[in-house]
Amino acid sequence: MSTDSDPTGRFYAENAATYADWFTTPSLKRLAVFLARLEPGAQVLELGCGNGRDSAAMLERGFRVVPTDGTPEMASEAGKRLGMPVRVLRFEDVDAVDAFDGVWANACLLHVPRAGLASVFGKIHAALRPGGVFYASFKAGKAEGHDGLGRYYNYPSRDWLRETYETLPWGSIEIDAVHGGGYDNQPTDWLHVLAVKQPSSS
């Protein structure tokens, strides 16, 4: 993501070490719900893994995890934590088909431009095996824009987000709205989404 024309990618590239040290506790509450839907040892793709904290927690629990991040500098920070290579992968470059039991995308797809979000969802849907589970979280809002640090956010409403998910044949879509915060220390309304790909009909 780190190009001169991408202020979001530039932020994460220039602040990778600081961001990696900011919050190191894994997202245990959301992970518990996500992992409970998977079989032991299931294969999970993590998108936008940041400092690798959630991948580390999944690996400790015996899941097979492929951690990725779109910013080389962040991927390097995650690799230090995990002690393994972390692939640099932009969301639009996901090209796996029926390869994963779960996709974990915590607080990362919120940077995808609204016009491209449905396409990214399509790539994730294709990467999941039938019955696969997809978690993502978003900062809620009414219109896309940038925060005080220059980072782009798609800021979806709950209804807009559900409609975008429903362009694909999910078996179920659950959206949980909560109030919290973020790296910028601003009060934030979050949307947590858990979608399950339709199981095979055979």
Model confidence over 127-181: pLDDT tens digits? 999 999 999 999 999 999 999 889 999 999 999 999 999 999 999 999 999 987 6
Q: Judge whether 1 lies within some domain.
A: no
Model confidence over 39-49: pLDDT tens digits? 999 999 999 99
pLDDT given at position 3 = 45
pLDDT given at position 25 = 81
Q: Judge whether 83 lies within some domain.
A: yes
Give mean pLDDT, residues 187-196: 93
Q: Would you give the DSSP letter of residue 51?
A: T
Q: Judge whether 2 lies within some domain.
A: no
**How far is it, in rounded angstroms, from Cα 20 to Cα 50?**
7
pLDDT band at 19 (very low <50, low <70, confident <90, very high): confident
**How far is it, in rounded angstroms, from Cα 164 to Cα 8?**
23
Structure pTM? 0.93
Query: Strand runs (DSSP E) across 58-99, as ranges?
Result: 64-69, 87-88
- pLDDT above 80 (res 184): no
The CATH number linked to 184 is 3.40.50.150
Model confidence over 40-77: pLDDT tens digits? 999 999 999 999 999 999 999 999 999 999 999 999 99
Q: Judge whether 105 lies within some domain.
A: yes
Q: Judge whether 75 lies within some domain.
A: yes
Q: How many domains does the chain have?
A: 1
Q: Judge whether 163 lies within some domain.
A: yes
Model confidence over 67-124: pLDDT tens digits? 999 999 999 999 999 999 999 999 999 999 999 999 999 999 999 999 999 999 999 9
Q: Judge whether 202 lies within some domain.
A: no
Q: Which residue segment(s) compose the domain that 41 sits in?
A: 7-197
